[in-house]
Amino acid sequence: MTKKTLIKMSETSKFIDILEPRKGECGVFRFMSKAWYPKRTQTLDKINTPQDIKDAAAASLYMEAIIEAESSKTGASKESLRQEVLQHIEEIALDKKMHVIRWTGIVALKVAFKMNIGIYVNEPAVLKVKSTMGNNPVLFLPTHRSYADFCILTYLCYHYDIELPAVAAGTDFYSMAVIGQLLREMCAFYIRRTLAGAPLYAATLKQYVRTLVAKHAAPIEFFLEGTRSRSNKSLPPKYGMLSMSLMPLFARELADVTVVPVNISYDRLMEQRPYAYELLGVPKPKETTKGLIKWISSLNGHFGNMYINFGDPISVQEYLKQIPYSDESLKPIELQTLSPEQFSQVQDVADYVVGQQQANSVATISNLLALVLMESLMTQRALPYEEVLVEVERMIKVLRSLGATVFEDDVRKNVDRVLVVQDKSWTLDKDRRLRIISSEVIDVTDELKNKMKGHTLKAETMVNAIPIIQVQMYVNPMLHYLVPSALISVIVQRGPHTRDELARHYRRLRKLLRHEFFHTEKTEEKTFQDAFEYCVSNDVVGVCGEQVSVGGSEGARLRALLARAVWPALTSLLLCADVCTELQTIEQNQALKLVQKRAESGPYHPYCLSLDSATHCLQGLVLAGALTREKQ
């Protein structure tokens, strides 16, 4: 058995392709049918079956109290409410059928081979997490960039003999024929996207998740970002699911909960084209089983690698140090809910975890190549192959100096590999210059027009924008390394500033872009400090006494790179500000349309057409107090 191993800078990271050992004849079947004794997350007196957990949730004092309250509020009979709760639990709850898991594993592995996928896992990090398991519940909190995220950790856990995680999935899967049930039997549980207007459902979900965390001996996996990030960069976290999961800790039902940030990066996102369309406002089709089968059968070719990195396990108890007293503890333990202070602690944990997901991201050759490609697109100069390699090396240096983990062993080999993986998007022309492949012509039918979420873009705009947005999609995950320095650089380019002024402008911009470039407020002081030092030492800016001004020629290329990094976002922000200033009061959807319309009509970066960015910028303006939001 040969193992493709790659040694990285840090001694604690060692990325290994866990699919490699399966590639032999009948390796798949034997592996998927092996006797399996997984490591559990907690040692409980009794191993609870999925049914036990459902029963415990349904029979809880909390559900009883909710039914009483609901019945007194609406007059509905308690019996009918009890039935309703049972239905909700059936809708939500996971099941576990090992034979289903094993057979699905076989099929999935076959598909994976067809797709030529590699799953690179930071093995020491996984083993470290595994070694700390056994004392309390563990939450796996991965980034969410692709549907592939759903199965990947389950397979990883099977591989490393860790009890299969209970995975939170959206109800769009639940409604899919066969697949919904299949995923459920592979330990998925379903949650609705919105809880508004369904208090009984909300309460049932709350109780189920709480019970699951406390009584299930397997990791609980959910996506803090709440949805696949279409832009391939971190979304600000949602707090609901984490609140529910940490409730047993806040109620002191448990002494601790371990949280594991997980980063999953892709050489190529399977959904990159639909994402690009969605960013422009073309809605995604509804998930159907038929669509899925069609899609799977189209998955021939080279999809490249995915890289899974586990962050250090975080003891929530240790992280929070002190959980403030709340008079909630005077309630029966099962009825205890989060106090406002505790909720803000949950927010703190969530923000921190998203930061850790970023910190554990892996810069892949796709990202580096995208950075190079974007630069060549902006300077409108297609780079010859050899120059591309040099530029990629340069990007590696820049990113490493900014603290990124770069996954590479042999640049040339990997660039060649990625060009195969991305052969539908990026290619070398006959002169061996790197170019993007323009998108197929889009037929903007009336039906499509009606469906479009934003402004009705011209077919031409979309054709031009799609390939560039797809490049930006791979630039985006790198931006959190670049943005702090980039903001310093662009502020200083407007004229000399004192350090204090610079810091003030920086803070304001960071706030305005908080949703576009998510970051934790807590560490901002240090981030600014580091970025400033970086800028100074790389000649991006120069310091003369109190004054900070533009640096010398040595930093010119870096300044250009940095400026490009934040250019689309700053443009979007400006467009949003313009639109809102002119109209005073406007519906959010209308504002988004107008921003998109302007972005289309002007000489702007095509990424400014992204509804995602525009939404984030509007939120930033609200956050900064420039806009106020009124609910209608």
Is-contact 487 204, C-beta < 8 A? no
Which x/- pattern, by CB under 8 A, does the window 60-99 give for other proteins? -xx-xxx-xx--xx--------------------------
Among the listed residues 2, 196, 290, 443, the single contact to other proteins using CB under 8 A: 196
Of 81 and 418, which has the nearer Cβ to other proteins?
Answer: 81
In whole angstroms, the minimum distance from the beta carbon of 22 to other proteins comes to 27
Residue 150 contacts other proteins per CB under 8 A = yes
* DSSP helix/strand/coil, 266: strand
Q: Which residues pair with 550 in a beta bridge?
A: 541
Within 538-597, the residues that bind other proteins by CB under 8 A are none
Residue 630 contacts other proteins per CB under 8 A = no
Single out the segment in contact with other proteins by CB under 8 A; choices: 107-115, 120-128, 144-152, 260-268: 144-152
Of 40 and 507, which has the nearer Cβ to other proteins?
Answer: 507
The label of the residue with tokens 């390394």 reads: 481
Angle at which helices 524-537 and 479-493 pack, to 10 degrees? 70
Distance CA 50, CA 67 (A): 23
Among the listed residues 18, 112, 164, 205, the single contact to other proteins using CB under 8 A: 205
* DSSP helix/strand/coil, 562: helix
* DSSP helix/strand/coil, 17: strand
Single out the segment in contact with other proteins by CB under 8 A; choices: 338-346, 382-390, 435-443, 484-492: 338-346
Residue 279 contacts other proteins per CB under 8 A = no
Residue 224 contacts other proteins per CB under 8 A = yes
Among the listed residues 105, 165, 226, 355, the single contact to other proteins using CB under 8 A: 226
Q: Which residues pair with 141 in a beta bridge?
A: 261
In whole angstroms, the minimum distance from the beta carbon of 487 to other proteins comes to 17
Among the listed residues 299, 444, 623, 626, the single contact to other proteins using CB under 8 A: 623
In whole angstroms, the minimum distance from the beta carbon of 235 to other proteins comes to 7
* Beta pairing, strands 258-266 & 138-142: parallel
Among the listed residues 330, 443, 545, 585, the single contact to other proteins using CB under 8 A: 330
Of 193 and 499, which has the nearer Cβ to other proteins?
Answer: 193
In whole angstroms, the minimum distance from the beta carbon of 521 to other proteins comes to 5
Single out the segment in contact with other proteins by CB under 8 A; choices: 218-226, 271-279, 367-375, 542-550: 218-226
Among the listed residues 105, 118, 180, 236, the single contact to other proteins using CB under 8 A: 236
Single out the segment in contact with other proteins by CB under 8 A; choices: 95-103, 235-243, 256-264, 565-573: 235-243
For residue 283, CA distances in Å to 145, 238, 242, 447, 479 come to 17, 22, 28, 12, 26
Q: Which residues pair with 186 in a beta bridge?
A: 96
* DSSP helix/strand/coil, 25: coil
Give the burial class of 518: count Cβ atoms within 10 A of its Cβ; 0-12 exposed, 13-18 middle, 19 or more buried.
buried
Distance CA 237, CA 223 (A): 9
Residue 241 contacts other proteins per CB under 8 A = yes
In whole angstroms, the minimum distance from the beta carbon of 261 to other proteins comes to 14
> Phi/psi zone of residue 161: left (φ > 0), alpha (ψ -120 to 50 degrees), beta?
left
Within 419-448, the residues that bind other proteins by CB under 8 A are none
> To the nearest 5 percent, what fractions of the chain are helix, strand and coil?
55, 10, 30
| Tokens linked to 107 | 């099929």
> Phi/psi zone of residue 192: left (φ > 0), alpha (ψ -120 to 50 degrees), beta?
beta
Single out the segment in contact with other proteins by CB under 8 A; choices: 116-124, 249-257, 335-343, 380-388: 335-343
Among the listed residues 20, 52, 84, 172, the single contact to other proteins using CB under 8 A: 172
Single out the segment in contact with other proteins by CB under 8 A; choices: 11-19, 202-210, 468-476, 480-488: 202-210
Among the listed residues 82, 520, 586, 597, the single contact to other proteins using CB under 8 A: 520
Of 24 and 324, which has the nearer Cβ to other proteins?
Answer: 324
Amino acid identity at 381: R
Among the listed residues 195, 299, 323, 378, the single contact to other proteins using CB under 8 A: 195
Among the listed residues 193, 294, 432, 449, the single contact to other proteins using CB under 8 A: 193
DSSP-assigned states of every residue in 575-616: HHHHHHHHHSS--HHHHHHHHHHHHHHTT--GGGG-HHHHHH
Of 67 and 466, which has the nearer Cβ to other proteins?
Answer: 67
Angle at which helices 479-493 and 556-583 pack, to 10 degrees? 80
Among the listed residues 288, 337, 456, 464, the single contact to other proteins using CB under 8 A: 337
Residue 332 contacts other proteins per CB under 8 A = yes
Closest CA relative to residue 209, chosen from 227, 195, 228 = 195
Within 479-518, the residues that bind other proteins by CB under 8 A are 511, 514-515
Residue 537 contacts other proteins per CB under 8 A = no
Is-contact 417 304, C-beta < 8 A? yes
Q: Which residues pair with 120 in a beta bridge?
A: 17, 307
* Cβ atoms < 10 Å from Cβ of 485: 28
Within 112-141, the residues that bind other proteins by CB under 8 A are none
Residue 619 contacts other proteins per CB under 8 A = yes
Of 149 and 408, which has the nearer Cβ to other proteins?
Answer: 149
In whole angstroms, the minimum distance from the beta carbon of 627 to other proteins comes to 13
Long-range pairs, 496-505, Cβ under 8 A, ≥24: 496/547, 496/548, 496/549, 497/547, 497/548, 497/549, 498/546, 498/547, 498/548, 499/532, 499/543, 499/546, 499/548, 502/532, 502/548, 503/528
Single out the segment in contact with other proteins by CB under 8 A; choices: 231-239, 374-382, 384-392, 394-402: 231-239
Distance CA 85, CA 204 (A): 6
Among the listed residues 504, 522, 581, 589, the single contact to other proteins using CB under 8 A: 522
Of 132 and 520, which has the nearer Cβ to other proteins?
Answer: 520
Chain centre distance of CA 262: 10
Of 443 and 630, which has the nearer Cβ to other proteins?
Answer: 630
Residue 329 contacts other proteins per CB under 8 A = yes
Single out the segment in contact with other proteins by CB under 8 A; choices: 114-122, 169-177, 251-259, 299-307: 169-177
In whole angstroms, the minimum distance from the beta carbon of 574 to other proteins comes to 21
Residue 536 contacts other proteins per CB under 8 A = no
Distance CA 623, CA 632 (A): 19
Count of residues of this chain found to bind other proteins when the rule CB under 8 A is applied: 71
Residues near 439 by beta carbon (within 8 Å), at least 6 away in sequence: 462, 463, 464, 466, 467
Of 241 and 579, which has the nearer Cβ to other proteins?
Answer: 241
In whole angstroms, the minimum distance from the beta carbon of 488 to other proteins comes to 21
Is-contact 282 457, C-beta < 8 A? no
Residues near 106 by beta carbon (within 8 Å), at least 6 away in sequence: 28, 29, 32
